[in-house]
Amino acid sequence: MALLSLAARSLLNRWGTAVLVVLSLALSVTLLLGVERLREQVRDSFASTVSGVDLIVGARSGPLNLLLYSVFRMGEPTANVSWSSVSDLANHPSVDWVVPLSLGDSHRGFRVLGTSTVYFDRYQYGRGQQLVLAQGSRFDDLFDAVLGANVATRLGYSIGDEIIVAHGAGDVSFVEHGDKPFTVVGILAPTGTPVDNTVHVSLEATEAIHADWMAGAPVPGMRLTSEQVRQRDLTPRSVTAVMVGLKSRVAVFQVQRMVNNYREEALMAIIPGVALHQLWKMMAVAENALALVAWMVLLVALVVMLTALLTALNERRREMAILRALGARSWQIFALIIGESLLLTLLGVVAGVLLLQGVSWVAAPLVSAQLGLALSIWPPSAKEFILIGIVILAGMVAGLWPAWRAYRQSLADGLGTRL
Amino acid sequence: MSLLLLQDIVFSWPKQLQPTVQLQRLEVAPQERIFLRGPSGSGKTTLLSLMAGIATPQHGSVSFQNQDIVPWSGSQRDRWRADQLGIVFQLFNLLPYLSVLDNVLLSARFSTARRQRAEQSGGSARQEATRLLSRLGLQEALWSRPATTLSVGQQQRVAVARALLGRPALVLADEPTSALDGDHRDQFIQLLIEEADAAGSALLFVSHDMALAKHFSRAIDLSDINHAQRQGTF
Ligand SMILES: Nc1ncnc2c1ncn2[C@@H]1O[C@H](COP(=O)(O)OP(=O)(O)OP(=O)(O)O)[C@@H](O)[C@H]1O
Ligand SMILES: [Mg+2]
């Protein structure tokens, strides 16, 4: 249509302000969608990190704390679960399987998890997906290690390499178990969960490297070599947490109650889904605050556009008079301004989405490296499309005011040259 | 038969107590050449707005070929204006972001009737536009230039080409020569009249400058016919 190309040419003639308006809209759209995307993606990837586990048992503390350190490798365990409790639990008639988890060591910033080989059979993520070995095999010998996908790629390890485990979870470790190196025997396929950032060893190995330790420090004058340590009884004294699978999900509350009332030790059992729900509730406050800020920024961007449109209106009074003299209808003058606000908003949305894609593209590997959580970049979710729709609508509504003014002006000016 | 006939007009701008235009009768015959003069503020531009259907009188009729356009809807009048009128302003006639040629072609863009008439006389609207531009002394080198890079005199000639494209029934020119010097002024008016003749358009030309009246078949002093002005002056 004639008018549409005129509108585009006119806008192009004022490209300087147009670019600034589009930029401010783009940034606000990036923020708005980014906050939403972050919320959704964090929820999705948290929720898909663990599946098929009915209960997680640990020392009595907060349910969130237990969930975070056992599954997401965040934070520190406060106390341990003794091995006799683990055995009791495993022997409970309703319990199908238990996977003990022992945390506390690390390798160059990656957590080391001591567990049993049952872990590889029972741990599931996403929609019931199992862990798959990309190379090699599960640990078999005492000093075998299986690496998560990120650990292998980031540190450049392959099968047969030797690694040294350090005490403590920090990036910079002070005490290394340098006398007892591990051999990489397997590397897992990527999962998009914290498993990717984990070094897996056997429970016995965790016990073994601490055999000559006491109360978190090497015992002076007592050094055991790898060979000597193999001769000892390596049944673990305690573990950090236990994942539990039940024969029937119906028993879940009953077993949970049983664990919570366990006499021998102060234990706690959580249902992963319920604990996640608590996590969402806690995060909701922060999310809402972020979302509020994002909406305010959108409002500011719309005000910027409004300012630009209203300022341009004075310069364009002449343009409107010429168009009216040529026979442009007064509603077309109205449409011209609304169309311009719509075009600016659309450009802002497109630029904002592209910017967000760029940011996600850069951030995804960082998040994966830091948290082991996979962010998916494409396609945008339904909620994002709704937000985009709202932004476009808001842009049009903001355009109503200058459009109405232009319309009134074009009627009131007549053929006069009023500048 | 009259082309345009204004009768018993009373018009006041919104929020103004005094009417700006109040006249009994003003007639424009087909292909007539009229010179309209009047002191500044006497309502010349307002009268043109009424004749162009951009403003509508509170009282009276504006008839085009015996059809009163006052009761029409706004967009009916807009379409009529696009089809039948050519308008030239005092200054700033051109859209700065379009080329000279595109500015001329605007008339055809807003009216199918204009485009068809331009095609009849020129083969295509574009050919007719370039023909008019050449006739008005604007060489081909200028056609694709942005309109604002032309001199004021050249811009006014482009505006005339646009007003005449597609042979409108009536051309309204509101002091189009006020920014030109004496020689150019006469030359400009001669070209305007020649091309209006060729297009078969009536021409109503507004100016303060009585010296220009000699080019026209009829001269009207607005102070003589506009009764509103008499009340307004002290
Ligand atoms: N769009 C408008 N809105 C309100 N009042 C207007 C408008 N246009 C003109 N007027 C008023 O109408 C009166 C006549 O103005 P008009 O522009 O018609 O005079 P003019 O004869 O064309 O003057 P000039 O020779 O300076 O162009 C003036 O008092 C002016 O203030
Ligand atoms: Mg005037």
Q: What is the pLDDT of residue B232?
A: 45
The gap from C-alpha B62 to its chain's centroid, in whole angstroms, comes to 16
H or E element at residue A183: strand A182-188
Residue A9 has pLDDT above 70, yes or no: yes
Q: What is the pLDDT of residue B59?
A: 94
Query: Which residue's structure tokens are 């706690």?
Result: A268
Question: Averaged over A306-321, what is the pLDDT?
Answer: 88
Written as one string, the DSSP assignment of A342-394 is HHHHHHHHHHHHHHHHHHHHHHHHHHHHHH-PPPP-SSPPHHHHHHHHHHHHH
Q: What is the pLDDT of residue A175?
A: 66
Classify residue A290 by burial, with Cβ atoms within 10 Å: 0-12, 13-18, 19+.
Answer: middle
CA angle, residues A221, A226, A228, in degrees to nearest 5: 70
Instruction: Give phi and psi for B11, each to the nearest 5.
Output: -140, 130
Which numbered ligand comes closest to the C-alpha of A412? 1
Q: What is the pLDDT of residue B229?
A: 57
Q: Which residues of A touch B79 (CB under 8 A)?
A: 327, 329
> Inter-chain contact B89–A325, Cβ cutoff 8 Å?
yes
Q: What is the pLDDT of residue B233?
A: 46
Instruction: Give phi and psi for B183, each to the nearest 5.
Output: -60, -50
Percent of all residues in chain A with a pLDDT value above 70, rounded to a whole number: 92
> Inter-chain contact B111–A324, Cβ cutoff 8 Å?
no
Is B49 a pocket residue for ligand 1 (Cβ < 6 Å)? no
Q: Which residue has the higher pLDDT, B230 or B81?
A: B81
Written as one string, the DSSP assignment of A90-125 is HHSTTEEEEEEEEEEEEETTEEEEEE-THHHHH-EE
Query: Which residue's structure tokens are 């009163």?
Result: B68
Q: What is the pLDDT of residue A1?
A: 56
Q: Which residue has the higher pLDDT, A237 or A229?
A: A237
SS3 label, residue B93: coil
Q: Copy the structure tokens of residue A20.
A: 């600034």
- How would you classify the pairing of strands A144-147 and A182-188? parallel
Q: Which residue of A has its CA nearest to B77?
A: A327
- Residue A29 CA to ligand 2 centre (angstroms): 47
**A352 Cβ contact list (under 8 Å, min separation 6):** A25, A26, A27, A28, A29, A30, A32, A33
SS3 label, residue A353: helix
* CA B102/CA B99 separation, integer angstroms: 5
Q: What is the pLDDT of residue A395?
A: 93
- Report A:2-61 residues touching B (Cβ under 8 A): 2, 6, 9-10, 12-13
Residue B48 has pLDDT above 70, yes or no: yes
Q: What is the pLDDT of residue B234?
A: 45
> Inter-chain contact A415–B87, Cβ cutoff 8 Å?
yes
Closest CA to A62 of A75, A50, A48: A75
Q: What is the pLDDT of residue A220?
A: 65
Residue B39 has pLDDT above 80, yes or no: yes
Residue-wise pLDDT for B178-234, tens only, equals: 878 878 888 889 989 998 998 999 999 999 888 888 889 999 998 888 887 554 444
Question: Averaged over A256-267, what is the pLDDT?
Answer: 91
SS3 label, residue B142: helix
Is B130 a pocket residue for ligand 1 (Cβ < 6 Å)? no
DSSP A380: P
Q: Which residue of A has its CA nearest to B13?
A: A412
Q: What is the pLDDT of residue A418?
A: 55
* CA A166/CA A174 separation, integer angstroms: 8
Is A358 a pocket residue for ligand 1 (Cβ < 6 Å)? no
DSSP A395: H
- Order of strands across the sheet that contains B85-88: B85-88, B170-174, B202-206, B33-37, B218-221
Q: Copy the structure tokens of residue A89.
A: 């639990």
Q: What is the pLDDT of residue A219?
A: 65
Q: What is the pLDDT of residue A43?
A: 82
- Which of B13, B90, B94 is the closest to A417 by Cβ? B90
Residue A329 has pLDDT above 90, yes or no: no
Instruction: Give phi and psi for A389, each to the nearest 5.
Output: -60, -45
* CA B162/CA A7 separation, integer angstroms: 20
Written as one string, the DSSP assignment of B40-88 is TTSSHHHHHHHHTTSS--SEEEEEETTEE-TTS-HHHHHHHHHHHEEEE
SS3 label, residue A343: helix
DSSP A236: -
Residue-wise pLDDT for B148-186, tens only, equals: 899 988 999 999 999 999 999 999 999 888 878 878 888
DSSP A199: E
DSSP A376: P
DSSP A176: B
Whether residue A142 contacts residue A230, with contact meaning beta carbons closer than 8 Å, is answered with yes
Residue-wise pLDDT for A30-59, tens only, equals: 999 988 888 888 888 788 888 889 999 999
* CA A327/CA B130 separation, integer angstroms: 22
Is A12 a pocket residue for ligand 1 (Cβ < 6 Å)? no
Q: What is the pLDDT of residue B155?
A: 92
Predicted complex ipTM: 0.89
Residue B134 has pLDDT above 80, yes or no: yes
* CA A144/CA A160 separation, integer angstroms: 10
Residue B136, amino acid? L
Which numbered ligand comes closest to the C-alpha of B209? 1
Whether residue B2 contacts residue B27, with contact meaning beta carbons closer than 8 Å, is answered with yes
User: Omega into B168 within 30° of 0, i.e. cis?
Assistant: no
Judged by average pLDDT, the poorest of A124-133, A230-239, A380-389, B22-31 is: A230-239
* Through-space distance between the first and last CA atoms of chain A, rounded to whole angstroms: 29
Which numbered ligand comes closest to the C-alpha of B46? 1
Residue A419 has pLDDT above 80, yes or no: no
pLDDT band at residue A412 under the 50/70/90 scheme: confident
